[in-house]
A and B are shown apart, each in its own frame.
Chain A
Amino acid sequence: MCRIPCVAAFFLALTVPEQGFGADRELGEAIYKKTCVSCHGKAGKGAASYPKISGNPVSYTTEKLKAYREGIKQGPNSALMIMKAKPLTDEEIDNLAAYLEHAE
């Protein structure tokens, strides 16, 4: 009974990107443009004293955002980042990370 679904699950586990199944770059871009662009500039390239955040592996970005969401300080602009990250869901963080990995 389980053979076909289990095989499918096995291959999915091998091929699904690390941001998790279903991460949506377009939705990530929409969140970015609403929440992040005014500081980090176009496509996460960085602006003024706000760092470049594009081009990083998905795991790096999700780890950072989840830490901010938990209120963990990571640098001098943490207050702003903690506040921005607090309302984000896991799915939104995945989407943002997926967008930022290849944002141009």
Chain B
Amino acid sequence: MNTIRRGFVPTLVAAALTIGLPLSAQADGHEGMDVPKIAPTKVLEGLENPWDMAFLSDGTMFFTEKCKGLSVRTTDGTVHALYGMKDSTGYPDSGSDLFCEGQAGMLGVVADRQFANNRTLLVYSSSTKYHGDGCKTNFDKCDGNIVMRFKVSDDLMSVSDRTDIVTDIQYKPFESNQPFGGPGAHNGGRIRIGPGGYLWVTGGDRHRGICPQDGELLCGKVLRIDLDGNAHPDNNPPKGFDKRIYTYGHRNVQGIDFRPSDGKAFTAEHGPWHNDEITALVNGGNAGWDPAQNTGGRGECPDEYCGYEPNQMDGMDPAVRAAYTPMSDTRFDDLMPPSWNNNGFSQGTGSAAFLKGSNWGIYEGRLAVGIMGIGFGDTPPGSRIDMISLTTDGLGINGITRMPLGFSTRFRGLVMGPDNALYVATDDGDIYRVTAESMR
């Protein structure tokens, strides 16, 4: 036996060396895995709350700054301001109705797939233009978030032909008796082009208890519309609902993307001190958030919003709070159960993008999810980007790997570029290009 061992080991080493693999890889099967080299590089810095980016096929990058406006970074690295908010300076044009407050401002941006032909760009922002008489209290409808369509000039120096294609997404005008209770709360605001070229618009509950389950209000919904703002003909919300609604029952969706393998929409949603969620959307489905008072076994709540109850001003076990006002309430028959709930924590899920390209190796097809970091009670802040492998049916996960960036910060906006790099906006004012290099 000893003779055999003495002969076997050197033979194995020689074989491994011959085919260029370390012995350890041979032993555990890792020779089949392509773990890419991931590296971040800063492409823009010194911005003010960059929120979202949109790319053209040549690498041109449009980006929003929440309180300043829309700009573009051309392929040679030059930045042009395009369309500012009220009182912004340095922009060739601006909207006197556009404003920022709290979490609200200029948020999502996306280019039409036919941009090369029609120069169409879409932008989500808060606006006073459609307030009318509807914003006198927090209990009014208050249409204060809109989606604008622009035409971008050939030289990327200006935008024109602003058309407001959605004018009635609700906004929170005043402070309320809640933690984080300032005006401008929970606007959603991510916009993306999905299968068939339709526009998807994510919303938030704007701290109004009735929003997510109400069929006429657009707060707490995900919309699927055409680029004129009309409902997709196949949207299937419950009877009596606004036909633009694809899903309802949401709290604050700041991330949405479509799985490359089947086009299925997944959202990333920020939880209320419990349960950040990734959810596979179902046409007409209910995400299960219902912060209304006097329902679901609850009584009255401060300012008619139970979203942080019970004991809303103090920390407590997230599971106890989750049992009182669940993110995904199982009393709804049409509930879309979450794929992932962040182990019951809320740490601030901000954005999500599927990793595309073979350069991502074993992570290709995973959902990158930006976590901004909110530490409340004993919850660790947890600022990071997770790469989540979702099950084929979208109802669970296979595993999570933290993206090895070497730093942590508030990761606000994630979007794939045409170079198969992940672009990341941070609340610190930076935009990073995160590359993955296959090791094959």
**Which residues of A are interface residues toward B (Cβ below 8 A)?**
35, 38-39, 41-42, 45, 47-49, 75-80, 82-83
Contacts and interface: CB of A to CB of B under 8 A. Distances in A.
A33 to B, nearest CB: 10
Interface stretch (B91-99, B123-131, B143-151, B371-379): B371-379
B410 A38 contact: yes
Contacts of A75: 182
Nearest to A45: B428
A80 B377 CA distance: 9
B102 interface: yes
A48 B179 contact: no
A97 to B, nearest CB: 20
Contact of B372 (A45, A48, A83): A48
Given A41-B428, A80-B376, A82-B313, A49 B410 contact: no
Given A47-B428, A48-B412, A38 B181 contact: no
Interface string B53-82: 000000000000010000000000000000
B284 to A, nearest CB: 33
A70 to B, nearest CB: 14
A76 B410 CA distance: 20
Contacts, number: 56
B182 A49 contact: yes
Interface of B: 49, 66, 102-103, 175, 178-182, 184, 312-315, 372-377, 381, 383, 409-410, 412, 427-428
Nearest to B380: A38
A83 B381 contact: no
A27 B180 CA distance: 28
A49 B315 CA distance: 21
Contacts of A45: 428
Contacts of B49: 47-48
A83 B428 contact: no
Contact of B410 (A48, A77, A80, A82): A48
Given A47-B410, A83-B315, A39 B179 contact: no
Contact of B409 (A35, A42, A76, A83): A42
Contacts of B376: 80, 83
A38 B374 contact: yes
Contact of A41 (B175, B180, B381, B427): B427
Given A38-B383, A41-B427, A42-B409, A79 B377 contact: no
Contacts of B102: 49, 76
B103 A76 contact: no
Contacts of A41: 409-410, 427-428
A42 B313 contact: no
Nearest to A39: B374
Given A39-B374, A48-B103, A76 B182 contact: yes
B424 to A, nearest CB: 14
